[in-house]
A and B are shown apart, each in its own frame.
Chain A
Amino acid sequence: MKKYMTRMGDGYRVELSEEEIWEDIKAGMEDAVSRGGVPELSGEEQQKLFDIITMPGTVVGVEFGKEVVMTSDSGAGKVGHLAGIQIDRIIGAQIHERVCANDSVDLGHIDYTYKAVKAVMHDEAADMQHTVNNTVMPILYGAMTNLGQYTKPDGPCDNWAELLPQGKIKEALAAQEEAVEHAVKDIVYIGDGMYECGADGMNFDTCGASGDADFLAALKAVSILREKHPDMGVEMGMAGEFVLGMHGGLTFDGKRLAGMYPHEQVKVCEAAGATIFGAVVNTNTNESLPWNLARVCTFLKACTDAATIPVHANVGMGVCAIPMTDFPAIDAVSRIDKALVEVAKVDGF
Chain B
Amino acid sequence: MSKETILKEAIEAVKKCKEEEAVDVMNRAIAEGLDPVEVLSEGFSVGIREVGDLFSRGQVFLPELMLAAEVMKSVSAIVDEEMQKSGKDADKKGVMVLATVEGDVHDIGKGIVASIIKTQGIDVIDLGRDVPADTIVAKAEELGADIIGSSALLTTTMGEQKKIEEILEAKGLKGKMKTIVGGAPVTERFAKRIGADAYAEDAAEGVEKVLALLA
Contacts and interface: CB of A to CB of B under 8 A. Distances in A.
B184 A324 contact: yes
A10 B57 CA distance: 21
A184 interface: no
Interface in B3-30: none
A259 interface: yes
Interface string B187-206: 11110000000000100000
Interface residues of B, number: 27
A258 B58 contact: yes
A169 B63 contact: yes
B59 interface: yes
A10 B63 contact: no
Interface stretch (B38-46, B64-72, B141-149, B173-181): B64-72
A96 interface: no
A248 B184 contact: no
Given A167-B66, A318-B185, A326 B155 contact: yes
Interface stretch (A40-48, A238-246, A300-308, A335-343): A238-246
Contacts of B115: 165
Contacts of A245: 58, 60-64
B189 A165 contact: no
Contact of B64 (A8, A248, A286): A248
Contact of B62 (A8, A244, A317): A244
B152 to A, nearest CB: 12
Nearest to A246: B62
Contact of A10 (B59, B64, B185): B185
A247 B187 contact: no
A107 interface: no
Contacts of A211: 62
A12 B187 CA distance: 10
Contact of B61 (A167, A247, A318): A247
A243 B63 CA distance: 14
A286 B155 contact: no
Contacts of A246: 61-62, 108
B57 A248 contact: no
A326 B158 CA distance: 12
A102 B186 CA distance: 32
B130 to A, nearest CB: 14
Nearest to B62: A246
Interface string A322-337: 0011100000000000
Given A285-B185, A286-B201, A259 B111 contact: no
List of 10 A-B pairs having minimum Cβ-Cβ separation, nearest first: A245-B61, A248-B61, A242-B58, A259-B58, A164-B66, A324-B185, A258-B61, A285-B187, A167-B70, A246-B62
26 contacts: A8-B189, A35-B57, A161-B107, A161-B108, A164-B66, A165-B66, A165-B111, A165-B114, A165-B115, A169-B66, A172-B63, A242-B58, A243-B58, A244-B58, A245-B61, A246-B62, A247-B63, A259-B58, A259-B59, A259-B61, A285-B187, A286-B187, A324-B155, A324-B185, A325-B185, A326-B156
Interface of B: 57-64, 66-67, 69-70, 107-108, 111, 114-115, 155-156, 184-190, 201
